[in-house]
């Protein structure tokens, strides 16, 4: 211990103190502050960049999701439109069919009534003609067979029977 105290050099202590203070102040100003600031700036820069990248990634995901959703919507809309169109088409077709049916039925019934009318008219005409014919025949028969009265009666009866058949 005495050796240590004996060895202690006050001059060296003084110089060391002075130089260390100067060194501390100078280095603080010219070195440590700029170096540490630069390192810190770099670190925060890296951190910011990482965060920005993360954000961009999220945004990207959002955008993708959005476009996906839009696409989905468009698809659904298209499907809806197609469906609607199909329905409309079917309805139109069905309507047209129903209309045609009704028209056809109308036409048929008209035709039927017309036919019926024609038929009645035809029958009436035929009856007229038959009556005329039968009158002519009767005339002829009467002219030809007037001698035989039995035969005349029989003929008239036959003719009347024929008319009934119609």
| Contact set with another protein (CB under 8 A) | 1, 4, 7-17, 19-20, 22-24, 26-28, 30-36, 38-39, 42, 45
For residues 166 and 134, give the distance between their C-alpha atoms in angstroms, rounded to a whole number: 13
Quick one: which of 159, 162, 164, 128 has its CA closest to 142?
159
For another protein, give the closer residue by CB, 45 or 80: 45
Q: Residues near 131 by Cβ (< 8 Å), separated by ≥ 6?
A: 163
Rounded to the nearest whole angstrom, what is the least distance from the CB of residue 5 to another protein in the complex?
8
Give me the least distance between CB of 37 and another protein, in Å please.
8
Task: Kindly state the helix (H) or strand (E) to which residue 22 belongs, with its residue range.
Answer: helix 10-27
- Nearer to another protein (CB atom), residue 10 or residue 161: 10
Q: Could you tell me the two tokens for 87?
A: 């329905």
Q: Report the nearest approach of another protein to the CB of residue 29 (Å).
A: 9
CB 121 within 8 A of CB 115: no
Name the minimum Å distance from CB 51 to another protein: 17
Between residues 17 and 65, which has the closer beta carbon with respect to another protein?
17
Please give the C-alpha separations between residue 127 and each of 42, 131, 141, 159, 161, in angstroms, as whole numbers. 123, 6, 20, 13, 13
The residue among 8 and 161 lying less far from another protein, judged by its C-beta, is: 8
């Amino acid at each position: 211990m005495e050796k240590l105290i004996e060895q202690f050099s006050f001059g060296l202590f003084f110089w060391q103190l002075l130089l260390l203070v100067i060194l501390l102040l100078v280095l603080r100003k010219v070195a440590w502050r700029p170096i540490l600031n630069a390192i810190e700036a770099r670190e925060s820069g890296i951190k910011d960049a990482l965060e920005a990248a993360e954000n961009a990634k999220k945004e990207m995901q959002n955008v993708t999701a959005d476009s996906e959703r839009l696409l989905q919507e468009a698809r659904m809309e298209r499907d809806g439109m197609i469906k609607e169109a199909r329905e409309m088409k079917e309805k139109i077709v069905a309507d047209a069919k129903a209309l045609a049916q009704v028209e056809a039925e109308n036409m048929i019934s008209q035709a039927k009534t017309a036919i019926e009318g024609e038929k009645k008219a035809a029958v009436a005409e035929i009856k007229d003609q038959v009556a005329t014919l039968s009158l002519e025949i009767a005339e002829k028969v009467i002219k030809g067979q007037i001698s035989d009265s039995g035969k005349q009666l029989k003929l008239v009866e036959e003719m009347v029977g024929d008319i009934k058949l119609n």
